[in-house]
Amino acid sequence: MNRRPRRNRQNEVIRNMVQETSLSLHDFIFPLFIIDGQNQRVPIHSMPGISRFSIDTLLEEIGACVDLGLKAFAPFPGMPEKSKDKYATESHNPDNLFARAIREVKKNFPDVVLVTDVAMDPYSSDGHDGIVENGEILNDETLEVLGKMALTQAQAGADIVAPSDMMDGRVGHIRRVLDENGFQKVAIMSYTAKYAGAFYGPFRDALDSAPKMGDKKTYQMNPANSREALIEAELDTAEGADYLMVKPALAYLDIIKLLRENSHLPIAAYNVSGEYAMVKAAAERGWIDGEKAMIETLISIKRAGADVILSYFAREYAQYLKK
């Protein structure tokens, strides 16, 4: 045998030397859940290690993360049921929970980057990402709400707005609204290929944002499709997206690779709540080594071609690096 691949695996120094992919804390965006009130840290049952924070404890949490080297965060608001309505009106109230949180974070941590979620579901009494009329999700009427919501977030200090709704034309509409109002510098991270599936369950528990009727299949993508992801990517690029995102990450590593190979834009991947919960649940039962599974999961997303990883593991991974 003149070819023996094992020669390059024979000790740790050599293995490290020939390692093709590596993770850096610079790659990560850490999602965080915000709720109203004071001194709140409410654990999310289905996401061990993850809590909902009131604005005061959110600042403590971000401070701790910054000390660990994490600098980018994706906050999501958990809204009380009484503030929700059909048109997600609260989403563009400049004094809503989300805008107040964004302002406070940017005031206390001006160098932190905030990637803010643009979608109606946390504010919608229907629990959908669009306006519901006679059981149908209205596209163009929803764009108006999304534009106002993105502008409210930009005015509060968001660096990157991230539409996660999957309405047609939303990137172009949001870009126009931001530019008309002087927010040329605010970037758009589009949830380009967001699939309708089971992996968002724990997130919807965390925000109490599950659809009240029906499912999200008329706007989120069919898990069986990959060419359609290229159509979404072409449109988002033409409409002005600065990043293309694939979501979820693990069951869609091929889609991450597909977009990586077909775009020059940075590719983001969202390692979603259900993917986090699966690793945690199996680790709690002693069925897998949670730390090793975390690292293997994250590296697979990077190897597939993601430049940016949104993951609930971000803080734990940062802690692991400090060990």
Active site members: 194, 247
Binding span for ligand PBG by CB under 6 A among 57-65, 92-100, 200-208, 286-294: 200-208
Size of the site for ligand PBG (CB under 6 A): 11
Q: How many CA atoms lie within 13 A of 153 on its CB side?
A: 31
Contacting residues for 268 by C-beta, under 8 A, at least 6 apart: 29, 189, 243, 244, 245, 246, 306, 307, 308, 309, 310
Nearer to ligand PBG, 129 or 159 (CB): 129
Of 27, 90, 126, 129, the residue at the interface with ligand PBG (CB under 6 A) is 129
State yes or no: residue 203 binds ligand PBG (CB under 6 A): yes
Q: How far is the CB of 273 from ligand PBG (least distance, A)?
A: 3
- CB count in 10 Å sphere of residue 127: 21
Nearer to ligand PBG, 201 or 262 (CB): 201
Helix or strand run (H / E) with residue 243: strand 243-247
Give the Cα separation of 78 and 204 in Å (integer). Answer: 10
Q: Quick check: 162 and 115 in contact, CB under 8 A?
A: yes
Q: Quick check: 225 and 66 in contact, CB under 8 A?
A: no
Q: How far is the CB of 78 from ligand PBG (least distance, A)?
A: 12
Contact string (CB under 6 A) for ligand PBG, positions 102-121, x = contact: ---------------x-x-x
Nearer to ligand PBG, 247 or 302 (CB): 247
Nearer to ligand PBG, 27 or 129 (CB): 129
Give the Cα separation of 312 and 317 in Å (integer). Answer: 9
Residues that bind ligand PBG (CB under 6 A): 117, 119, 121, 129, 164-165, 200, 203-204, 272-273
